[in-house]
Amino acid sequence: MRLSILARFISICVLVLLTQASCNYPDFSSEYAIEMVKLSTGQTIYFKREVRGINGNYDVVSISTNSDPCKSYDEKTDYCICSYRKYVYYKIEGDKIHLYDATADRSPERSPIDLRVENHEIHPLDREKFEANYDKQGITRLLLEIKPENKCH
């Protein structure tokens, strides 16, 4: 009798281990996109988008001088566009970066470079016209597309 209880216990353990090994647990690692932008002053900044969470509900774009895509938004040194953004419209003039239809709503405590950010809201009724003509105004549309192969662990 003890042998049959032990055999059942072992078979249950083996079944549990096989089941766990065959299950694909979701990967909740951060995914990212990063794009380098050269300022007219010669300095380099990076637009970094990080998405993480069970539903991808953390979706933040930062403007940073740190080129490491796995370095999350740092409130001490980075500007934050703290809302979902698949792309950013911007224009650079000297040490100023103009953001269109996106708001850098958090400025760093101390920026490693001299950079001024100016936000420009686009009225919803003007959005279609803006999207059709932004390039004629010297504005760049920067796509920050998340790619599955870009993971941070």
At position 65, the amino acid (one-letter code) is T
Within a domain: 35: yes
Within a domain: 86: yes
10-residue mean pLDDT profile of the chain (153 residues): values are 64 56 60 90 90 80 91 90 84 89 81 85 93 95 86 74
The parent domain of residue 116 ranges over: 30-152
For the entire predicted model, the pTM comes to 0.76
- Overall domain count for the chain: 1
Distance (Å, rounded) from C-alpha 126 to C-alpha 105?
Answer: 22
Within a domain: 91: yes
Within a domain: 46: yes
Within a domain: 141: yes
Write down the pLDDT at residue 21.
47
Within a domain: 51: yes
Within a domain: 3: no
* Beta-carbon count within 10 A of 114 CB: 11
Distance (Å, rounded) from C-alpha 57 to C-alpha 118?
Answer: 26
